[in-house]
Amino acid sequence: MILNFAGLETAREIKRVIFGYCLFFHREESVTSFMVIVFNATGGYAARWSHVLASTRYATPAVRGTCDYLVVDSDIRDPATSNAKVVEKAKTIGANCVVPKDIFGDWRATVESVRAFFKAGEWGGDVIIPLQRPYAKCFQDLEEYGHWFGLGGLLPLHKEEQFEELKKGVEIVSRMGKDVHLFGIFPSPSTPVFKYLRSGAPVHSLDTTVCETMAVTGRVYDLSFDRYHLINTTGAWSRQLRVKMAELNLTSIHIALNRPTQAARTSKSICFQHLKRPVLS
C-alpha cells in the first residue's frame, strides 16, 4: 500500500502526519518494508521522478536533468501564457511532451486553443490534450487530435463533486480507448477520489498540482520504489511505527512535499539521504 501526502510545510507537520497515519520507519536490515519520500518539483528544486510535468515557469535545466521524460504545461499564473510560449520552452529545455494552453472553466476557449496549437504545427513531440468541464463536450470536439487527454479544472470543486466529475471524465475518455491524465487535484487517503484511483480506475497518471507543484506520479495505484531511508529518528519512533505497520499490513509509503522548505530539509530529527528514482510501472 502506498499513501500520498502533500502540503507539508515543516518538520513538525511531517512528524504529525507520520504518527497520525501510523506509517513505518525502516531502520534495521532485518525489516523488509521501507519508507519513500519524494520532493516534487517546485521552483528551482528538481524532483527525482522519472516522469515530470512542469509549467513553463518551472521547467528548468535542473528539472530536465533529473528526469527521463519531461512534460511542459502552460502557466496558469501567467496572463500572457500561450501555446507559442509552451512550445518555445519545450524546445529550449529539450522536453518530450507538451500540454497546449487550456482556459480554466471555459471549454469552448480551450477547444479553440488546442485547435490553434495543432494548426500551427510547431511541435513534433508528444502531446497531452487538456480538457475542461463539461468533459463530454470538450472531448467530443478534440478526440480526433490524439490519444492522451488531461482532465483539468477539478481542484476548486468540493470533494464529492470532484469525485463525480472525475469519474465522468475518466469514463468518457477511457471508453474511447484513450489514455487519461489527471491535473490539478491531490486526493488524500480519506477521499472517494483516492479510493477510486486505487481501485484500478483507468487513469494513466496524476499530477499532484496545487498551482505550482508539477510532478506526474505515474500510476498512483501501481507503483514500485527503490529503497529509501529516513535516518536520525529516535528508537521510540521506530518501535511505535513498526507495530502500527504490522497492524495495518502496510508495506511502503510515499510522502510528497509541495514546498520543500528549509525546515523540512535541515531538521535535526529528520534527515534525508540516498534518494533514488522511482520506477514507474
Report if residue 117 sits inside a domain: yes
What pLDDT is stored for residue 84 in this prediction?
Answer: 97
Report if residue 218 sits inside a domain: no
Out of 117-126, 138-147, 210-219, least confident range: 210-219
Residues 6+ apart with CB under 8 A from 57: 75, 77, 78, 212
Are residues 190 and 98 both part of a single domain?
Answer: yes
Q: Where among 161, 179, 206 does a domain terminate?
A: 206
Are residues 87 and 134 both part of a single domain?
Answer: yes
The C-alpha cell at 134 is 463539461
Angle between helices 83-93 and 107-120 (to 10 degrees): 50
Report if residue 45 sits inside a domain: no
Out of 21-25, 61-65, 129-133, 240-244, least confident range: 21-25
What pLDDT is stored for residue 216 in this prediction?
Answer: 35
Alpha-carbon distances of 99 from 44, 129, 140, 155, 208, rounded to whole Å:
20, 6, 18, 18, 16
What pLDDT is stored for residue 46 in this prediction?
Answer: 36
Q: What is the DSSP letter of 45?
A: B
How crowded is the C-beta side of 73, counted as CA atoms within 13 Å? 28
Report if residue 2 sits inside a domain: no
- For residues 32 and 127, the model is more confident at 127
* 161: pLDDT strictly greater than 70: yes
Whether omega for the bond prior to residue 79 falls within 30 degrees of 0, making it cis, is no
Q: Which helix (H) or strand (E) holds 117?
A: helix 107-120
Are residues 126 and 260 both part of a single domain?
Answer: no
> In this structure, what are the phi and psi dihedrals at residue 244, rounded to the nearest 5 degrees?
-65, -35
pLDDT digits (tens, 9 = 90+) for 9-52: 444 444 455 544 444 443 333 333 334 333 333 333 333 445 67
Are residues 63 and 132 both part of a single domain?
Answer: yes
Band of residue 180 on the pLDDT scale cut at 50, 70, 90: confident
Instruction: Give long-range contacts, CB 8 A cutoff, 24+ apart: 208-211.
Output: 208/4, 208/6, 208/40, 208/256, 208/258, 209/53, 209/155, 209/183, 209/184, 209/185, 210/6, 210/7, 210/155, 210/186, 210/258, 211/76, 211/77
Domain that holds residue 245: 11-39+223-280
Report if residue 213 sits inside a domain: no
pTM of the model: 0.61
Band of residue 95 on the pLDDT scale cut at 50, 70, 90: very high
Report if residue 270 sits inside a domain: yes
* 142: pLDDT strictly greater than 50: yes
Are residues 24 and 70 both part of a single domain?
Answer: no
The SS3 call for residue 72 is: strand
CA distance 126 to 147: 10
> In this structure, what are the phi and psi dihedrals at residue 138, rounded to the nearest 5 degrees?
-65, -45
- Amino acid, res. 104: F
The span from the first CA to the last CA of the chain, in angstroms, equals 15
Are residues 114 and 230 both part of a single domain?
Answer: no
pLDDT digits (tens, 9 = 90+) for 263-275: 333 222 222 222 2
How many structural domains are present in the chain? Answer: 2
Report if residue 72 sits inside a domain: yes
Are residues 21 and 126 both part of a single domain?
Answer: no
- For residues 194 and 81, the model is more confident at 81
Report if residue 211 sits inside a domain: no
What pLDDT is stored for residue 70 in this prediction?
Answer: 82
Q: Where among 155, 180, 206 does a domain terminate?
A: 206
CATH number, domain with residue 89: 3.20.20.105
What pLDDT is stored for residue 173 in this prediction?
Answer: 94
Are residues 132 and 229 both part of a single domain?
Answer: no
What pLDDT is stored for residue 53 in this prediction?
Answer: 76
Taking residues 157-165, report their average pLDDT.
84
CA distance 45 to 42: 5
Q: Where among 148, 177, 206 does a domain terminate?
A: 206
- For residues 277 and 51, the model is more confident at 51
The C-alpha cell at 275 is 534518494
Cell 520504489 found at: 225
Band of residue 227 on the pLDDT scale cut at 50, 70, 90: very low
Are residues 191 and 268 both part of a single domain?
Answer: no
* 96: pLDDT strictly greater than 80: yes
